[in-house]
Structure 1
């Protein structure tokens, strides 16, 4: 195979021991001689098989040599992750589970005299709401007496965002997205309340590390820095440190704030018969389209994502801006073991291309196209809530997937009346006639149904080729 047929993954450039390639949808990792040694040591230890069997690390298949680069002496093919997501998109419960998985793997590895070389949150992905580790080259032999080299990275990419939300009540997603390496310890330390100084955990993982970072920022204090580098701890203390941190994170929960749509299932403005009609419509749509990947835009607590999975969708990725609703969606997916990944996303400012060369982290649409979408009680939040022209909303929706279901909510609906009471009716183009004109221009409408007395209507469409 020639190099031209294998595209290096844009996020795979930091590790000199291996590189990930995308070869026509196959995820292949080339290993250098050092990388191959690490991999075969891991395999020989039995840890890799143990983690694979527990579904805690992606399954890797040896495929020997490939003609991609003379730099690599062995290749692996990894199982595919249905949809790549990033820590700044994860609701609190998902980031917490990812942190716990990382620590659990560290503790499990240490039993075999193996450690993880770093603590990057980007080394974890999700299958449904189950976290899974994806970097087989992060494992290296434990050196007797060594400190945890990844502690600062773990704190900034896992612990600090969780503490920001759990203690201060500030969601971390926007800050994290603007600071891809996580939330700096010295900045979080400035925000923690005074009582944190009386917490041994806060002192050990935030306040004292922040103080030491300031103290040793002066490059002339090399002796002090060298003293820290030369420090040693027994393996039992290392393991205890990890276990204590695991217990602390396990005890964290998001500080509760009232959210606009967190109780939508209980407070929605339409009646039970209308809900039945909506469910019947979505059931028929999904049963006949059988999408491999479906996006639920404005997924709320995941009620319709679950319905889609029950009727033929293989994977559902849900997007919502309401963290209270997303928390319920994660609980639903966990409780019912759904292949459903709820992610935080403000669609009017969705995750962009960013990082090195603006390709290291992809936008939501560059990570895989859905075969179907559902956008229920959604478009009026863009058109009226955010003043986005209806023509642009429809063009964007239709561009996302070959088919979908979109709900149109009339201005007479109580929800929109509340929105207009604050802004005034400055939306002459927001009406069903214009909506249908736009939809007809780009799609063929397969089926429609009015489901409420206020005129809420569902439209099942197929994009024109």
Structure 2
């Protein structure tokens, strides 16, 4: 039994791994709460709504109860969500709390790490974060909700999507007093923002990470608390982030002619169909256009891109089309999420999670010139990186005549001669040290070549 290093804060129980599967142990201190929730059919109702991760009760003894939750292939963290996904995670937390209040229960906390995404939608994964509601007791998690959700969303809306990455370097959330200083003075005129950011920002907890009881819900009855939370949920539902980037409209301004774009799609679809892939990662996948090409051959596809707006488009499209097999996430491959938390073990790094996911195929389309020319990553290093992720690689190489390559090279000005080694021959020679080239096709009507490679296992 290997206890999960992030599962140590709640004495009610913990998550552990056994033979590659995850289980949750419930300690005797939580037995009464657990049986009350179970006997009230709250779990069943939350499962029916697809709000809470499903679990199966494996065993019950006098000293522990063992649950087996639905096994998730891949977890994304809050700092990898797009704006709309972040909003939906916030709304789910509030809806959970309102629903539980109606049933006589409450959430113990409101950590954004209680949420991940499964089958295309946000899902609550901390089964033990539910307790009995006590009359007129304020919601313990309200201040934490604002630190983990509301403040980052407000700051992102006003100053840019960078603030959605708050929890990557501030694992306990964004301090509300600091958030208040960064917001426009006009936000004080909003009753919702004033009460949840400015007022709560004046309340100091005795220790970091504790929930606050000096909150606007103090002394309010259950009905009034629900009304307050509904107002907050409605405010968040109307929030938007209008952030235009060069990549959000990439496929509208691409240098491909239509025939070349179609040819590229056909190549990728045909090549993938011969590989019997089940899990794929699309690195630099923009809005997921090519990820959708490899479905339904694959069971699950991770789409990662540095561009928040493009990933948000992917996420919204998945919701609209009820696409459940694509996992969109915001990732900068030049500085992917590192392992964080106590002893750097609470939240796994992007790379380690992808390696555990163990994709059959990695796709790196229109990516290598950005890594090599913008990021100064040598071919040898990018080849080694891709090799560590999957057996197969579909990679696209734009040559020096490609318009995007020309644009990047011109931006180098006096240093352009440092990139003389950016050419097809050097690319192939470097990658052949790690891969065997199975297929190679020039994309007709472009200055790009598409490769299908297989990792050398020696």
Would you call these one fold, judging by a TM-score over 0.5? yes
Asked whether the 8 Å contact 2:107–2:130 carries over to 1, the reply is yes
- Higher mean alpha-carbon deviation, 228-237 vs 43-52, is at 228-237
Q: 1:184 and 1:93, CA in 2 relative to 1: closer, same or farther beyond 3 A?
A: same
Match of 2:187 in 1: 196
2:340 paired residue number = 354
Shift of 1:228: 7.3
Determine the C-alpha separation between the residues in 2 that align with 1:321 and 1:97: 20
Which residue matches 2:320? 335
Paired position in structure 2 for 1:26:
21
Task: Name 2:228's counterpart in structure 1.
Answer: 241
- Pick one of 375, 392, 413 that aligns with 1:403: 392
Q: Secondary structure at the match of 2:259?
A: helix
| CA–CA separation in structure 1 for the residues paired with 2:213 and 2:170 | 29
Q: Aligned-residue CA RMSD in angstroms?
A: 2.0
For residue 59 of structure 1, what is the aligned residue in structure 2? 54
Which residue in the other structure is 1:322 paired with?
A: 307
| Structure-2 residue corresponding to 1:207 | 198
Equivalents in 2 of 1:142, 1:443: separation in Å?
59
Cα 1:170–1:132 shift into 2, 3 Å: closer
Relative to structure 1, the CA distance from residue 152 to residue 25 in structure 2 (aligned partners, 3 Å threshold; closer, same or farther) is same
Using the alignment, how far apart are the partners of 1:289 and 1:97 within structure 2?
Answer: 35
Give a deviation string over 1:367-425, Cα, whole Å, max 9, x none: 22322111100011010011111110111112111112011110110110000011024
How far the C-alpha of 1:162 sits from its partner, in A, is: 0.6
1:293 aligns with 2:279: yes
User: Are 2:15 and 2:25, in contact at CA under 8 Å, matched by a contact in 1?
Assistant: yes
Task: Supply the distance in 2 between the matched residues of 1:155 and 1:278 (Cα, whole angstroms).
Answer: 45
Q: Gapped runs of 5+ residues in structure 1? A: 1-5, 219-224
2:418 alignment partner in structure 1: 426
Which portions of structure 1, spanning 4 or more consecutive aligned residues, are displaced by more than 6 angstroms? 225-230
- Structure 1 Cα separation of the partners of residues 78 and 384 of structure 2: 29
Q: Does residue 253 of the first structure (1) align with residue 240 of the second (2)?
A: yes
Q: Residues of 1 paired with 2:20 and 2:136: CA distance?
A: 43
Task: Measure the CA separation in 1 of the matches of 2:260 and 2:32.
Answer: 61
What TM-score, normalized by structure 2, do the two folds share?
A: 0.93
Gaps of 5+ in 2: none
Shift of 1:301: 1.1
Query: Matched residue of 1:441: which SS?
Result: coil
Closer/same/farther in 2, CA of residues 260 and 226 from structure 1, 3 Å limit: closer
Distance in 1 (alpha carbons) for counterparts of 2:237 and 2:127: 25
Is the 1:270–1:452 contact (alpha carbons within 8 Å) kept by the matching residues of 2?
A: no
Deviation at 1:184, TM superposition (A): 1.2
- Establish whether residue 284 from structure 1 lines up as the match of residue 279 from structure 2: no
Measure, in 1, the Cα distance between the counterparts of 2:183 and 2:58: 50
> Deviations for 1:307-350, whole angstroms, at most 9, x for unmatched residues?
1223x111111111112211211122112222211111110100
How many Å apart are 1:229 and its aligned residue?
A: 11
Q: 2:255 aligns to what? A: 269
Aligned match of 2:168 in 145, 159, 177?
177
SS at match of 2:154: helix
Go from structure 1 to structure 2 and tell me whether the alpha carbon gap of 1:358 and 1:226 turns closer, same or farther (over 3 Å shift): closer
Residue 368 of structure 2 corresponds to which residue in structure 1?
379
What is the TM-score of this pair, normalised by structure 1? 0.92
Distance, in Å, in 2 between the alignment partners of 1:170 and 1:29 is 34
CA distance, structure 2, for counterparts of residue 230 and residue 103 of structure 1:
14
**Is contact 1:451–1:458 with CA below 8 Å preserved after alignment?**
yes
Match of 1:73 in 2: 64
2:449 corresponds in structure 1 to 457
The whole-number CA distance in structure 2 between the counterparts of 1:195 and 1:80 is 45
Deviation of the 1:129 alpha carbon = 2.9
Count of matched residue positions in the alignment of Structure 1 and Structure 2: 446
After TM superposition, the structure 1 stretch with the greater mean CA deviation from structure 2, 170-179 or 400-409, is 170-179
Aligned equivalents of 1:77, 1:171: Cα separation in 2: 36
Deviation at residue 231 of structure 1 after TM alignment = 4.7
Q: 1:293 to 1:250 in 2, by over 3 A?
A: same
Q: Of residues 419, 427, 437 in structure 1, which corresponds to 2:429? A: 437
Give, in angstroms, the shift of residue 46 of structure 1: 0.8
Listed one character per residue, the Cα deviations across residues 409-454 of structure 1 (whole Å, up to 9, x for unaligned) are: 1011011000001102421222111111122221222211110444
Cα separation, 2, equivalents of 1:46 and 1:230: 27
1:226-249 per-position Cα deviation (integer Å, ceiling 9, x unaligned): 987995221111111111111111
Note the C-alpha offset of 1:109: 0.9
Q: Within 5 Å, give how 1:95-134 maps onto structure 2.
A: 95-134=86-125
Instruction: Please say which of residues 278-287 and 295-304 is displaced more in the overlay.
Output: 278-287
Q: In structure 2, do the counterparts of structure 1 residues 170 and 264 end up closer, same or farther at CA, with 3 Å as the change threshold?
A: closer
Q: Distance in 1 between matches of 2:146 and 2:199?
A: 12
CA contact (8 A) 2:138 2:213 kept: no
